[in-house]
């Protein structure tokens, strides 16, 4: 999947870079790019915070993960993994040592789920890792609103929101929101 709007990649790169609160961002934390596709948003994070930024991009499609690994090769701290996000974050939460949990709690999660949104299980698991901030890229306002409400139940607050008309002459709107622990 790739956005049809020819400026979408540039617009979303800038939006994600802007949405990340630099005061909350730790390049040495365990930062995540979930539903990472070919690594566009992980690369955006690396471009803003430097090539040693530690970020893991997770995508279920093996070909997209291969492209992500290639696209992220110049960022020393970046890696791409193939896995279903629901399962991958659940396994991460179950296996994380206290040290790794501390690195996750200082981390930033970039979340770019499909139109159906992340859903309760993924939101609950991410919130249980207590990242410093979540930058949520959404293509469906209803799923986004549902997931924001789920994050709010875990003490996160929507602190910034931008909308983009990447599908002119349709009802579709892309949104980028920042959630931080309150």
Active site residue 139: yes
Q: What's the CA gap between 77 and 149, in Å, rounded?
A: 32
- The answer to whether 136 and 147 are in contact (CB under 8 A) is yes
Find the DSSP H helices in 54-140: 62-71, 85-95, 98-105, 119-128
Exactly one of 38, 58, 78, 139 is catalytic; which is it? 139
Q: String of b and e for 67-85 (b: at least 16 CB within 10 Å)? A: bbbebbeebebbbbebbeb
Question: Which positions are catalytic?
Answer: 139
């Amino acid at each position: 999947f790739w956005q049809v709007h020819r400026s979408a990649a540039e617009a979303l790169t800038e939006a994600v870079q802007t949405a990340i609160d630099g005061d909350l961002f730790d390049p040495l934390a365990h930062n995540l790019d979930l539903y990472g596709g070919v690594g566009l948003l992980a690369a955006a994070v690396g471009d803003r915070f430097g090539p040693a930024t530690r970020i893991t991009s997770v995508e279920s499609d093996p070909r997209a993960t291969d492209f992500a690994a290639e696209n992220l090769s110049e960022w020393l701290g970046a890696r791409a993994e193939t896995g279903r996000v629901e399962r991958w974050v659940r396994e991460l939460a179950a296996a994380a040592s206290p040290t790794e949990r501390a690195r996750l709690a200082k981390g930033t999660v970039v979340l770019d789920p499909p139109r159906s949104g992340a859903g309760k299980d993924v939101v609950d698991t991410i919130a249980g890792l207590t990242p410093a901030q979540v930058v949520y890229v959404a293509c469906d306002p209803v799923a986004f609103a549902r997931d924001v409400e789920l994050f709010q139940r875990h003490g996160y607050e929507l602190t910034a929101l931008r909308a983009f008309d990447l599908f002119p002459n349709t009802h579709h709107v892309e949104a980028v929101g920042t959630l931080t622990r309150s």
